[in-house]
Amino acid sequence: MHCPFCRHPDSRVIDSRTTDDGLSIRRRRQCPECGGRFSTVETASLNVIKRSGVIEPFSRDKVVSGVRKACQGRPVTDGDLALLAQRVEEILRRTGSSQIDTNEIGLAILDPLRELDEVAYLRFASVYQAFESLEDFESSIAQLRADHELRASAASEATTD
Ligand SMILES: [Zn+2]
């Protein structure tokens, strides 16, 4: 990239380090022409295409505000929500695509939210998957119950063996 001071088309990297969350690299650069120093941050790009067609960078804060309402009155802390948003970002980055749509974000939220709080999960899923009737809730709850039983029998098998 061009030197921000003299527009020289080249620069030399004098230091590079990974940020604490491991998601980006910060490089100190020096211009060989004017000696000016500046920093660049390199991040794998992850952009969201909104329903309106507008493209914006992925934001963990928006994930948190998206699920906060579903978590109202539930034993879910801000720390839990921050961790959930981090997991959602990891799931999305693992897909390898640099552009995702809001639908994929909703889908990526479902599993970690279910592990966090099943009531919040049902609330979120009912909006996101546009539940239209009691049957939709019933089948989701039946699925949760089946998973519980599966886990319970796996646990008892583990103890009886
Ligand atoms: Zn320069």
Give me the tens of pLDDT residue by residue for the chain, a chain 161 residues long: 889 999 999 999 999 999 877 778 999 999 999 999 999 988 878 999 988 999 998 999 999 999 999 999 999 999 999 999 999 999 999 888 889 998 899 999 999 999 999 999 999 999 888 888 889 889 999 999 998 888 888 888 776 66
- Residue 37 Cα, ligand 1 centroid: separation in angstroms? 8
User: How many angstroms does the Cα of residue 17 sit away from the middle of ligand 1?
Assistant: 22
Q: Cα(27) to centroid of ligand 1, in Å?
A: 16
Q: What is the pLDDT of residue 123?
A: 93
Cα(2) to centroid(ligand 1), Å:
8
Are 106 and 128 within 8 A, CB to CB?
yes
Between CA 99 and CA 4 the distance in angstroms is 29
Secondary structure letter of residue 58 according to DSSP: -
What does DSSP say about strands 55-57 and 12-18: parallel, antiparallel, or unpaired?
A: unpaired
